[in-house]
Chain A
């Protein structure tokens, strides 16, 4: 770009618009984190569904996979931050939203395990005394709470990054949340897997594809 070139007022405005658009288009997430979490949550839900459906139990809790997935996520985040040449104003807020989401998920697991432990013994006592099972099953209501939380950071990220697949993914989580209130645990697990696929895995694949195209374009420009 020639620095000394005289600018007309129209050229100035055109240049400003062009550069602002270029800066906006420069944000490209690799999508690897979204792909990983979408896959992990979908696998966990489907394995748990198979446990319920075929009445068997794995020697470990399949949801422990989510704890294992934190390790590669840390490396992915560090690598993405290092490679990023530009920081947007939204970046720190989105980081805090996802961190807060992670904390909320683990708090919800802790709370539900405690309540389920308490409620389970009450339900057993009720069954012993009355001979009937309690009509309220706590574990049937856990999935909608998780789906509600899944929707929040996904929706915000989709809106902030103007990335529609994620925005719709977040809305899909909330629709599944409402449906899951009225469905059995098997359907709840299917809805959780579908939400993970539509909210994270599919948008992640789209992001990764766009990122690869962007990198290819950049490489061609630099030749």
Chain B
């Protein structure tokens, strides 16, 4: 059982988004969609959940008259991600 694992992060798409955002300063929604191979609707829902948890910051703006969504990982998100990886490693070594 994944008792110690953060339920917010222990979801395939949310974990993919967090893994992408941990490596970069900020990324556009389209970049996350393309790299995570997700649908726009599903990704929007998961991004909203990560935002509500305070793990990511979402900036909505206009670029060349088109709406643009930028996502950034927050310090809380970095801490949660590091904790998740640490717990995962502990789990794997104990197994």
Spell out A's residues near B (CB within 8 Å): 1-5, 7, 9-10, 12-13, 15-16, 18-20, 22-24, 26, 82, 85-89, 91, 218, 221-222
Contact = CB atoms under 8 A, between A and B. Distances in A.
A86 B27 contact: yes
B25 A91 contact: yes
A86 B24 contact: yes
A9 B30 contact: no
Contact of B12 (A7, A23, A221): A7
Contacts of A82: 63-64
Interface of B: 2, 5, 10-16, 19-20, 22-28, 30-31, 34-38, 42, 45-46, 63-64, 85, 88, 91-92, 95
A160 B23 CA distance: 14
A19 B10 contact: no
B24 A87 contact: yes
B20 A23 contact: yes
A3 B46 contact: yes
A4 B10 CA distance: 10
Nearest to A84: B28
A88 B12 CA distance: 23
B19 A15 contact: yes
A85 B27 contact: yes
Nearest to B15: A15
B27 to A, nearest CB: 4
A92 B23 CA distance: 15
Contacts of A5: 12
Contact of A1 (B13, B23, B27, B30): B13
A88 B24 contact: yes
Contact of B42 (A3, A18, A19): A3
Contact of B24 (A13, A16, A23, A218): A23
22 contacts: A1-B36, A2-B13, A3-B11, A3-B12, A3-B46, A4-B11, A4-B12, A7-B10, A9-B88, A9-B92, A13-B88, A15-B15, A15-B16, A16-B15, A19-B23, A19-B36, A20-B20, A22-B20, A23-B23, A86-B26, A86-B28, A87-B27
Contact of B30 (A22, A24, A85): A85
Given A12-B15, A15-B12, A1 B28 contact: no
Contacts of B12: 1-5, 7, 15
Contacts of B85: 16
A85 B28 contact: yes
Nearest to B72: A87
A10 B19 CA distance: 15
